[in-house]
A and B are shown apart, each in its own frame.
Chain A
Amino acid sequence: MSRLLQFLGGMCRVSSRVIWRGSPGISSLLRPLPPGLTCVLAAGKKDLVDLSVLNEDELEEQFVRGSGPGGQATNKTNNCVVLKHIPSGIVVKCHQTRSVDLNRKRAREIMREKLDVENKGELSEVLVKKKESEVRKQEKRRKANEHLERKRLFKESLAADSRSGNDTV
């Protein structure tokens, strides 16, 4: 609740008219993506197939578009998209690209990841992948240390041999 209040406080600072509405264009976002686009979106995400499905009815989108007829009448470059998931209160803000269309899609991807973490907790694929990568890193570090240790011991034994001269057989 406090997060929402903070957010609303932030919104009030925006001077242009801000529109909160149920997600428009539902069908266009849920339709099967054209082949090219699917490949682009899947590239970094091919491992995360089991994320929660987004229910557009539970989402609200915010665009800062100002008053007036919009469209040809205005040229605004602010393409930031703010997506709110009503049941959980999770808010995702996306301004990664210069295209509103892409920002909306990307905001939904981020929302799906966050919801996945929220819903599945420890079992969330996002967290599982993160953990696996951590484990791999730790394993790598351990092996590297072992290797260095062996080298060190080997060098020491060489030094010891040379010190004791020909006494050692």
Chain B
Amino acid sequence: MHGGLFILIMWRRSLSAGYRCFGPKGFWGSHAVRRCSAPALPAGRITALQAVDLWKTHFWESGVTEPDHSSHYIMAHLLGGKTIESLEQAKLTELLSREKTEQMWKLCTRRLSRMPVQYVIEEWDFRGLTLKMRPPVFIPRPETEELVELVLTDLEMKPGTGVGADAQQTCMEVGCGSGAISLSLLKSLPELIAVAVDQSQDAVDLTAENALWLGLQDRLQVYHLDVMKEKLLSLCSPVSTLVSNPPYLFSDDMLLLEPEVIRFEDHAALDGGKDGLKVIKQILTLAPQILSNKGRVYLEVDPRHPPLIRRWVEANVEELHYVETRHDITGRPRFCILQKGKSNKDHKLDLD
């Protein structure tokens, strides 16, 4: 009964997602739109590995990117694992039930339309946490795992701010999406409380859902708020940490995005304006008002941004100084750290 209901829901979602696929070039504006159809369901029973191979080939022939990974992740998910490597060989060579085969076909057909794997299986992992995923809420990128590491490194070294050793540290996140950053910080730091905002109601809902799912809802407040239009000041008392993976793509670059991104993810979570700095500048303008003294801002940005941000802050935000630029796992300049207060050179006479 339950299985039948699941398939019904899958069909409804698939129909609304649409079945248009794109040729190997993948430009969303191109006329080369191919209607890709799924291979027929096998007449007899097949093993998981056979299903994986069949779909891997079909994805490849249809121009779907990452044909092997897509097929692997979907099958692993159906068999209760995270990756195909984590499953026992015995399980992979067992014959699939009719129900499982139909589920594989349904999910892989969604992938045929270039729907990201994370939306197809409706979940993904971030620093070891499993989070629910739902279009069009932005899917966390692997680079952002390092942003969390940077924040943790600093927060763990700090004693509690304010009077008393057990004074609570508060972190604010702008543009929380699925909640990946805030929830990851909360999981790693049992004493932390977090406030997260997003201009998308879908994102706010998903973050709240993930918080509940992970049992972290008591330490997280989520608000529907657009930083371009509203103040953050009223939400909570000054925070020690402000973190964000704001939309930072250059508007022109939006045209070059692969179908997975441009067709399914919220453009407002990606487009940072002509120079990609629209939202970043706003966050940095508001930062001094919500940060406690010596509080820090951690941003993920486009590789071209760090020197631009440094210059802009020096000229426009007196109360913030640029601390450093950090690189991501691929070696690109990716993270900017700034601090409230004068630069260290001017701190000689400060006693606190």
Contact = CB atoms under 8 A, between A and B. Distances in A.
Nearest to A101: B145
A72 B144 CA distance: 9
B303 A100 contact: no
Which of A34, A68, A79, A98 gathers the greatest number of chain B CB atoms within 10 Å? A98
Nearest to A68: B256
B253 interface: yes
B145 A100 contact: yes
B202 interface: no
A21 B190 contact: no
A74 B261 contact: yes
B270 A97 contact: no
Contacts, number: 127
A101 B149 CA distance: 9
A68 B258 CA distance: 12
A35 B126 CA distance: 18
Interface string B93-120: 0000000000000000000000011100
A77 B331 contact: no
B332 A69 contact: yes
Interface string A120-163: 00000000000000000000000000000000000000000000
Contact of A98 (B124, B153, B245): B124
A37 interface: yes
B128 A97 contact: yes
B146 interface: yes
A71 B141 contact: yes
B127 A101 contact: yes
A38 B245 CA distance: 27
Given A72-B247, A99-B126, A101-B128, A32 B83 contact: no
A99 B140 CA distance: 10
A25 interface: yes
Given A34-B156, A99-B126, A100-B142, A19 B331 contact: yes
Interface string B41-66: 00000000000000000000000001
Give the size category of B's interface with A. 35 or more
Which of A32, A72, A100 gathers the greatest number of chain B CB atoms within 10 Å? A72
A97 B85 CA distance: 9
Nearest to A95: B85
B83 A98 contact: yes
Interface string A1-42: 000000000000000000101001101100110111100100
Given A28-B146, A69-B332, A102 B303 contact: no
A116 interface: no
Give the size category of A's interface with B. 35 or more
Interface string A54-78: 0000000101010011111111111
Nearest to B189: A34
A141 to B, nearest CB: 25
Interface stretch (B312-320, B322-330, B337-345): B322-330
B69 interface: yes
B7 to A, nearest CB: 24
Given A28-B150, A72-B270, A96 B328 contact: no
B302 A69 contact: yes
B300 interface: yes
A32 B149 CA distance: 12
Given A28-B149, A98-B83, A73 B261 contact: yes
B66 A78 contact: yes
Given A19-B331, A27-B153, A98-B73, A70 B261 contact: no
9 contacts: A31-B156, A73-B257, A76-B66, A77-B66, A98-B82, A99-B142, A100-B145, A100-B329, A104-B329
> Nearest 3 A-B pairs (CB), nearest first?
A98-B125, A100-B142, A101-B145
Interface of A: 19, 21, 24-25, 27-28, 31-32, 34-37, 40, 61, 63, 65, 68-79, 95-102, 104
Given A28-B150, A35-B190, A74-B257, 10 more contacts: A70-B143, A71-B141, A71-B143, A71-B334, A72-B248, A72-B249, A73-B249, A78-B69, A97-B125, A98-B83
Interface of B: 66, 69-70, 73, 82-83, 85-86, 116-118, 124-128, 138-139, 141-143, 145-146, 149-150, 152-153, 156, 187-190, 245, 247-249, 253, 256-258, 260-261, 265, 269-270, 300, 302-304, 327-332, 334
